[in-house]
Amino acid sequence: MLESTNELIILFIRLIGSDVSNETGTESMPWIAWFCSLGGHQYFAEVADEFVEDDFNLTGLNSIVPFYKEALEMILDLEPEEDSTKVPDVSIVEASAEQLYGLIHQRFIVTRQGLQQMADKYQAGHFGSCPRTYCQSTNVVPCGRYDLPGVETVKLYCPNCQDIYSPPSSRYHNLDGAYFGTTFAHMLFHIYPELQPNVLNKIYTPAIYGFKISEYSRCGPRMQWLRNKQDPNLLDANGRLIKDANDHDEDDSK
């Protein structure tokens, strides 16, 4: 008979991961490696144990994650203490461990070691490619619009058109965007500028019988943010190309 609930938790996790361990030919698998190998977790990097063990890197997370101590023990595969607080249900600690790892992951992937891992995954195309035709299947990276959990799910950032998209696979639609945060995607291309794509950023122009549709038309183009991706010296105060602005002024004077 198990002496504590935490021992039951660790045993339960090991039983869940046993199938994965058998496939890899190992008798046991660390929790972090097991977690990252699960379906729908391909976006995650494997956070180094020494990063998790450094209390400074975890500052403030104990006030966000419930059952923080038990969740941390699970992540680090630590033996539970004899006087550890009992947990009402195994699934609660599992959820806390996933959230804690996700928030640690957000901090890890902006370190040099974490950025290198994610850069390798980006170059290998693990995150998928941009759905926009003119981006020519540019690789994307995961990102979040918020740094706090429970607000929005993960998005994919394209460094070519600089827009974000929802992952095409539903397996990622429940993955919290805070686990990747608002900084990582942009820091990656700042630290590794050679990863920035060189795809020509063409803009699709709607036309009827070869005539361009005015942006003021009800059925005109709505992608103004793409139009603004021009040389700033060629834009007027309203964000239009100076040539186009002059054309509008001539039309108004007639």
Per-residue confidence (pLDDT) for residue 8, from 0 to 100: 44
- In this prediction, residue 236 carries a pLDDT of 66
- Segment-wise mean pLDDT, segments of 10 residues, the chain, 254 residues: 43 44 56 94 96 96 93 88 61 91 98 97 96 94 96 96 93 96 97 90 83 77 59 59 55 51
| pTM exceeds 0.95 | no
Neighbours of 149 (CB within 10 A): 18
Name all domains of the chain by residue range, CATH numbers in brackets.
5-108 (1.10.1820.10), 126-195 (2.20.25.20), 207-253 (no CATH)
Residue 18 pLDDT:
41
Residue 78 is predicted with a pLDDT of: 86
- Yes or no: say if 161 and 183 are a contact pair by the CB < 8 Å rule: no
Encoding tokens for residue 10? 């660790």
